[in-house]
Structure 1
Amino acid sequence: MVSVKCGRCGELSQKETCVSLSETLPLSQGKGTTNLIQKCKFCGREGTVTMIQGRGKPLTQEASESGKYCPVMLFDCRGFEPEGFIFGGGWKVESIAGTKYEGVDLSGEEFAEYDEKGECPVMISNLRSKFDVVK
């Protein structure tokens, strides 16, 4: 989920917007699809957010320990600027021993389990996000 700001009037959306790779909509002009079409409630300008597959990377233990941000998704935003990312459900987590966890909910900004098979703790905490402009 993301919060967006209108590129014309600067109005910040009052609620978070869910963007999903599995949901596509036809563009109102031209050919192609997008993952979100939304109108600004203040000025009426329409904007789109398209998720670009194959440009993100999994967040690894090494990247996490380095303290650097890891680009997990690329968004093509037209008419809107992303302001914030809200972690929610549906994440996939894999322990260093290879045990996989599906549908992990990170809305509480933390995940902790013990991998019985691999005999190791599995933890995600201190989640942060940022948006960088890519040209």
Structure 2
Amino acid sequence: MVNFMLKIAADLENLTNLQPQGGCDDPSFSYLFKLKCGRCGELSQKETCVSLGESIPLPVGKGTTNLIQKCKFCLREGTITMIPGQGRPLTHKDSEAGSYAPLMLLDCRGHEPVGFIFGGGWKVESLEGTKFEDVDLSGDDFAEYDEKGECPVMISNLRATFDVVK
């Protein structure tokens, strides 16, 4: 069993608190990953979608998981279980420091996450308090104008990493 912490970073211009629409533990938010098989090293061809709101029973023993997936090359089955309560929004302070913010903890067995794909369903707020909902980051950036603060706002240079957590 290996736990991986998904961490995100971005350049936030006049923005703070970047996170999934319903918060870091939003059960309806879809996390999109590229996975590597722990046995043969094969990379998934397509993104794998994992959501806190979807749980399935483990094939052996008790409990549930959020994903069971077979490697198309060696046919080994692996699971990913999301562990809520460990994430927080990416703040303006994080962005200015070039720091990553923890988003979601993953218990991975048989698979290793190697890439995170930013998609739709994010929210962020301006430093003046204007909220931007359902932000789509699939184009790698976001730009708007904050009427209240009378300034441009932008998200760019999106990055994600997975850190092993013991």
Q: TM-score, normalised by structure 2?
A: 0.77
Query: Quick check: 1:58 aligned with 2:110?
Result: no
Which residue of 1 is the match for residue 49 of structure 2? 18
Instruction: Name the aligned partner's letter for residue 75 of structure 2.
Output: G
Q: How does 1:27-66 map to 2 (within 5 A)?
A: 27-66=58-97
Which residue of 2 is the match for residue 91 of structure 1? 122
Q: How many residues of Structure 1 are paired with residues of Structure 2 in the alignment?
A: 135
Instruction: Map Cα deviations across residues 20-77 of structure 1 (whole Å, 9 max, x no partner).
Output: 1222222212222222110001111111112211101100000011011211111111
Gaps of 5+ in 1: none
Gaps of 5+ in 2: 1-31
CA root-mean-square deviation: 1.2
Which residue of 2 is the match for residue 130 of structure 1? 161
Higher strand share: 2
Q: Distance in 2 between matches of 1:105 and 1:33?
A: 30
State the identity %.
Answer: 76
More relative contact order in 1 or in 2 (CA 8 Å, sep 6+)?
2
Instruction: Name the aligned partner's letter for residue 134 of structure 2.
Output: G
Instruction: Name the aligned partner's letter for residue 65 of structure 1.
Output: E
Q: TM-score, normalised by structure 1?
A: 0.93
Which residue of 2 is the match for residue 111 of structure 1? 142
